Amino acid sequence: MQITASAPTRVDIAGGTLDLWPIHQLLDEKATVNVAITLDASVTIARSPDVRWHFVSTDQNIKWSGTFEEVTQSSHALLGWLVHKIWKSEWPALTISTTAKSPAGAGLGGSSCLGVALTSAL
């Protein structure tokens, strides 16, 4: 069985840095304006074929395998941290495949969207 979840990428139109300390402390009235765009990020999870965890980034052509204890040091540190917080070590290992349509490093929140999609799938 596979579970797939996706999340839209967002673009900050205004106020995108207001969530950073201390910027939000400097203004009395503040707002952030975002829009979702059709460059989604998606995550597919399935039971691992062995006892190891597997992360596969199809858009970046990156693969990683390791133990549950090692997921936070994987090439996908954010996703590994989420797995470590949500999943239990005694539960089956998973293969997690990701893809993001927004270019890596573009500042469009692609990693955040992958995090939302993974959390939803788990």
Domains of the chain: 2-121 (3.30.230.10)
Residues 97-114: what's their mean pLDDT?
A: 78
Token digits of residue 28: 């009395």
Residues 57-85: what's their mean pLDDT?
A: 91
Q: pLDDT category, 15, cuts 50, 70, 90? A: low
44-81 burial string, b = 16+ CB within 10 Å, else e? bbeeeeeeebbbbbeeeeeebebebeebbebebeebbe
Give the integer Cα–Cα distance in Å for 97 and 38.
19
Fill in the amino acid letter for 114.
L
pLDDT at 16 over 90: no
Q: What percent of the chain has pLDDT over 90?
A: 50
Residue pLDDT, tens place only, 58-68: 988 999 999 99
Q: What is the pTM of this model?
A: 0.80
